[in-house]
Amino acid sequence: MRVIFVFLILAGVAFGSRDGGPYIGIGYGSSKYINDGLYDDMKSDTSQSATIYTGAYINKNFSVELGYSSFDAWQESQGYDVDDEKSVSFSTSTVSVLAHYAFFDDMLDFYAKGGVGQINGSGISTTGFDFVYGGGVGLRINEWFGLKMAYDRYDFEYKDKEDKKYNMYIDFVYGAVEFQF
């Protein structure tokens, strides 16, 4: 499955439509961590979070994207507080495929997203595979600049020392600016 996503990214870069072309974006928002009962009562399960991504349109309705998200806003916030002494935070690198549907001469773009990635945790020793899916809406201001509002969900598993599995996820709502080349 990873080979397919790598192929799609390379094909997107090599055969990107000039109607869409490559793009880069940066976003900031709020995330919520659902720990599936690993911690009985968390002090704070929300955190300021940030993302940076780059991608390329294969055609008008299809693009591939590489992304990096930090769920403690690149150390600007403390992550998710378990109690007064302990906090946890996560970062993830992903490869995603986006399906776009544009309106009003391509000014308004609705999209759905699906992909896979690698998640890393601090405060909780976990590194592993995650799934990302979500959607959003973009507003294209001109040929090279756009704004978007998005929702992403990152699903991942954690095994504790007794091999008990926890199905965790992070909900991430953010706004972003996007530059197209």
Tell me the pLDDT tens digit for each residue of 129-176. 889 999 999 998 988 899 999 999 999 888 877 778 888 899 999 999
pLDDT of residue 121: 80
pLDDT of residue 114: 96
pLDDT of residue 147: 96
pTM: 0.82
Burial class (CB within 10 angstroms; exposed 0-12, middle 13-18, buried 19+) of 71 = buried
**Cα separation, 136 vs 152, whole angstroms:** 9
**Cα separation, 170 vs 151, whole angstroms:** 11
Residue 62, CA atoms < 13 Å, CB-side half-sphere: 9
Check the CA dihedral 38-151-80-155 and report its sign: positive
Distances (CA, A) of 77 to 50, 72, 74, 92, 140: 11, 5, 8, 16, 31
**Cα separation, 134 vs 155, whole angstroms:** 11
Evaluate if residue 18 carries a pLDDT over 80.
Answer: no
Average pLDDT over residues 25-42: 85
Instruction: State the residue for tokens 């780059």.
Output: 54
Where residue 109 falls among pLDDT bands split at 50, 70, 90? very high
Domains in the chain (CATH in brackets) are: 2-106+117-180 (2.40.160.20)
**Cα separation, 66 vs 58, whole angstroms:** 14
49-101 pLDDT per residue, tens: 999 999 998 888 899 999 999 988 566 556 777 777 778 888 899 999 999 99
Query: In 21-180, where do the E strands start and end?
Result: 22-34, 46-59, 62-70, 80-81, 87-103, 108-122, 127-140, 145-159, 165-180
Where residue 41 falls among pLDDT bands split at 50, 70, 90? confident
Average pLDDT over residues 96-121: 91
